[in-house]
Amino acid sequence: MKKATFEVAGLALWLFVFTRVHDMLGKDAAAAYAHARTVQTVERALHLDVERAANRWLTEHPILIQPAVYLYRTYYVVVLGVLVWGYLRRSAVYPQVRRTLVAMTALVLPVYWLYPLAPPRLALAGVVDIVWGQSTMTIHDGQNTFSAMPSMHVGWSLWSAYAVWVALRSSHPKAALAAWIFPLLMIGVVFTTANHYVLDVIGSIVLVSCAVGVATLVGRILDRVRRNRGGVGRRD
């Protein structure tokens, strides 16, 4: 019980700090819109500028708007569910996925500080701000408007899929592969609701990959420290 309490308290504190710091970053509107113009230029050059077409497609299929908005707003339920499931049922891999989560949230903050970015819904002409159009809140109600690069909606969903994949790839490979449907759906949602650019999603993939690498390295260092301590204890 003490271990579980410490785990919950530690993660809650970390996520609270992450949220507070995140909300303080990326407030430079001029820089955010300048970066948006740069991203749009790069995407046009690479023929990746699909955001306007994706947004138009969703507006032409209104039956899908509510499911898209629901997924965009409630993704954290899946994240928390995976975290609890990993702790309770997959203790062997839980430390790795928890370290990955912490690394991901730590690595993204400097990016938000250095590269505020206005999302397509604010910076791209002709798109419909679907999620906020369905909301009674203003864009400033508890939201960091210019933290679009990378997309943490995609980042969290990638982390969730990674956690399930690591836990089930040996025992239930089909279920492990099915977990990747979640980030694929989220990628479709952030494009069609005009909340992120293609480059934001690429940034999310890079972010999670780096977080996995950092978590793996930390795990190896901790294992080495434990082995060394065990060896010292036996010699004594």
Calpha distance 111→147 (Å, rounded)? 9
pLDDT at 233: 45
Q: How confident is the model at residue 135 (pLDDT cuts 50, 70, 90)?
A: low
- Using CA atoms, how far apart are residues 147 and 133, in angstroms rounded to an integer? 19
Can you read off the two tokens belonging to residue 198? 């293609």
Distance CA 37, CA 162 (A): 32
Q: Are 193 and 121 in contact (CB under 8 A)?
A: yes
Kindly state the tokens that stand for 155. 């980042």
Please state the domain extents for the chain: 29-235
pLDDT in tens, 165-224: 999 999 999 999 999 999 999 999 999 999 999 999 999 999 999 999 999 999 999 889
Q: Is the pLDDT score of 59 beyond 90?
A: yes
**Residues 6, 4: Cα–Cα separation, whole Å:** 5
The pTM is what?
A: 0.90
Whether 29 shows a pLDDT value over 50: the answer reads yes
Interhelix angle 51-59/181-192, nearest 10 degrees: 90
Band the pLDDT of 139: cuts 50, 70, 90: very low
User: Any idea what DSSP says for residue 64?
Assistant: G
Q: Could you give the count of Cα atoms lying within 13 Å of 50 in the half-sphere of its Cβ?
A: 16
CA distance 155 to 109: 13
Neighbours of 77 (CB within 10 A): 9
Residue 54 Cα distances to 32, 50, 191, angstroms: 22, 6, 6
pLDDT of 226: 85
